[in-house]
Structure 1
Amino acid sequence: MRYILCCIDNKNFSQASCDYAVKISNTMNLPLKFLSIIEHHHKAYKLNLSGNISLGEKDEILYELTSEEENESKEAIKNAKELLGKLKQRAQENCKNKIETLLIHGEVVENILELQNEIEVLVIGIRTNVEHAIGQNVKEIIRSIHKPVLLVNSEYIEPKNLLVAYNGSNESIKLLLETSSNPIFKEVKRDIVNLNTDSSKSIALLEEAKNIYEKNQIEVSTHTIKSENPKDLIEYFETNNFDILAMGAFGHSRFKELIFGSFTTKILSNIKKPILLFR
């Protein structure tokens, strides 16, 4: 059975991610599952490994490393279980559907991809600003999973205004088809924006996007931004006080991204409210 998956940790807007996941679960009438993944990338902080190590010291060092890693793992498991319990209790206050928790050991990306066929929408808490670069795990998840992903980077706000950035790419078409046939957020005002220096091309793209929504009796407004700079999209988003930005993700090849940079990454690194992505 499909469900809403909320991937959480102790660092990145876990409570806000919980609240958005509950909102989506209620809207789509699907079960909610909270997931915590414990990665084992142990670093030895206490041991001084510089210089030569005598034969007699090797066993002692190995014991200390093993003990340190074991204690670290126990602490991580304890914290993860406590967080899962708190979020489940928080979700039960408003969620109308079944709620489950799942604790997994291993790699974040691999484990989420293994669950891909069961996921309807993935919710992840992140920190996105100049001081905190987007984690590689988050980028790889967005690149790999073919489901809507809501990245939560601020405290919860009841969504009222949704801005959809549409450029006619396969990713943005999939996003429109997915969110119009089975809306992730209902009873919100939707605006579609296109960044384009060619006005006539922009009008055609916006009409195409508008028709997709109208087939499902969803009203939208449209607007052209005469630019191709992601900063102008963010400025329009902030000036008009939208609550969530929706867009297709990573439409270029990795080679092009190395040369020109990624539009998606630039948006992720600078936007201060949640973003809904579809790859």
Structure 2
Amino acid sequence: MTRILACIDNTNASPAVCDYAAWASLNFGLPLTLLNVVNHPPCMETQPGSLAHMLDSMTLDERRHERALKQGYLMLQNAQERAIADGVMKPELHQKNGELLCRLLEMENDMRWLVMGKHSSLYPLLNQLEKIIHALHKPILVTPTTFKAPRSLMLAYDASEVTHMGVEMLATSPVLTNLAAHLVMVAAKTPKNLEQLDSAGAILKAAGRDVRTAICDGKVDLALQAYQTEHNIDLLVMGAFSHSRAHRFWLGSTTSRMIRTTMRPLLFLPKSHLNM
């Protein structure tokens, strides 16, 4: 069954992850699954004279793992109560052992959206979040630490295949259809760019969407941030596998900086995904 999947851990991002996942679940009309993944205890190498120490370490690691499982289940129960308070009926709880990316890949076929915080206890380094974005083939909503129901969105449009597909998704997405949309291109105001942007905007207007188009000059990151701040836009939508300037910014060396500094949610769209 297709569902919204939310990653719950022991960071301060989890309450907002739960709220954004509940928001997506209710707007899609899809069930919500709350997932916690607990790492296995590290493997020990046996060395001469160290057997007793190894056994003691294994016992300690096993106790820590058992404690992590219990804490994880409590976190899931708290998240479940929060999601129910948000209006979700019977959110499911899943706790798994292992490595987060592997578990997500196993559950990918049943996933409509993945919702996760930008800070993770399993992946403290933000470039690991980038690995998840690259590996999965479903939209990934990366949340800040506080929840605000989105009323507007901005699609960073560069006329690439993936962002054009994103426009078509926005025209039909049940969860995003009521949000005011901004299509923003960071490029020179050439006749070709203006024509491409107007054509993309026409797709949304034909679907009855409230849409505004704009071309901005300057560096991609600064231009997008400035536009988002000026127009108080709640949600930024980005193609995850575009090879444009925007791609090199968002999924390049400065990705972690942007995810770390932004206070608003980011929705990454994989190229192969055709239905939001």
TM-score bracket for the superposition, by shorter chain length: 0.7 to 0.9
Tell me the equivalent position of 1:24: 24
Q: 2:127·2:256 contact (CA, 8 Å) conserved in 1?
A: no
Which of 143, 150, 161 aligns to 2:141? It is 150
State the SS of the aligned residue for 2:236.
strand
Tell me the equivalent position of 1:200: 191
State the SS of the aligned residue for 1:167.
coil
| CA drift at 1:33 | 0.5
Alpha carbons of structure 1 residues 163 and 33: separation in structure 2 relative to 1, 3 Å: same
Which of 254, 264, 267 aligns to 1:273? It is 264
Q: 1:162·1:191 contact (CA, 8 Å) conserved in 2?
A: yes
Alpha carbons of structure 1 residues 268 and 172: separation in structure 2 relative to 1, 3 Å: farther
Alpha carbons of structure 1 residues 111 and 179: separation in structure 2 relative to 1, 3 Å: farther
Matched ranges for 1:1-279 at <5 A: 1-40=1-40, 42=42, 55=48, 57-127=49-119, 133-136=125-128, 138-252=129-243, 261-262=252-253, 264-265=255-256, 267-279=258-270
**What is the TM-score normalised by the length of structure 1?**
0.84
Question: In 1, distance between residues paired with 2:62 and 2:94?
Answer: 21
**Matched residues, percent identical?**
27
Q: 1:250·1:262 contact (CA, 8 Å) conserved in 2?
A: no
| CA drift at 1:113 | 1.3
| CA drift at 1:54 | 9.0
State the SS of the aligned residue for 2:213.
strand
| CA drift at 1:248 | 0.7
Alpha carbons of structure 1 residues 74 and 7: separation in structure 2 relative to 1, 3 Å: same
**Cα RMSD after superposing both structures:** 2.8
Amino acid at match of 1:148: P
What do the CA deviations read for 1:28-83 (whole angstroms, capped 9, x no partner)?
A: 11101101111226399xxxx9xxx995x412211121012101111110111000
State the SS of the aligned residue for 2:95.
strand
Question: In 1, distance between residues paired with 2:41 and 2:189?
Answer: 49
Question: In 2, distance between residues paired with 1:16 and 1:247?
Answer: 20
Alpha carbons of structure 1 residues 165 and 104: separation in structure 2 relative to 1, 3 Å: same
Q: 2:13·2:117 contact (CA, 8 Å) conserved in 1?
A: yes
| CA drift at 1:274 | 0.8
Question: In 2, distance between residues paired with 1:192 and 1:54?
Answer: 61
Question: In 2, distance between residues paired with 1:24 and 1:196?
Answer: 32
| CA drift at 1:186 | 4.3
For structure 2, list consecutive stretches of 5 or more residues without a partner in the other structure: 271-276
Higher alpha-carbon deviation: 191-200 or 71-80: 191-200
Q: 2:116·2:142 contact (CA, 8 Å) conserved in 1?
A: yes
**What is the TM-score normalised by the length of structure 2?**
0.85
| CA drift at 1:140 | 1.6
Alpha carbons of structure 1 residues 126 and 37: separation in structure 2 relative to 1, 3 Å: same
Q: How many residues align?
A: 264
State the SS of the aligned residue for 1:115.
helix
Question: In 1, distance between residues paired with 2:47 and 2:35?
Answer: 44
What do the CA deviations read for 1:207-246 (whole angstroms, capped 9, x no partner)?
A: 2321332342212111111124312211221232211111
| CA drift at 1:179 | 3.0
For structure 1, list consecutive stretches of 5 or more residues without a partner in the other structure: none
Amino acid at match of 1:87: A
Question: In 1, distance between residues paired with 2:113 and 2:147?
Answer: 17
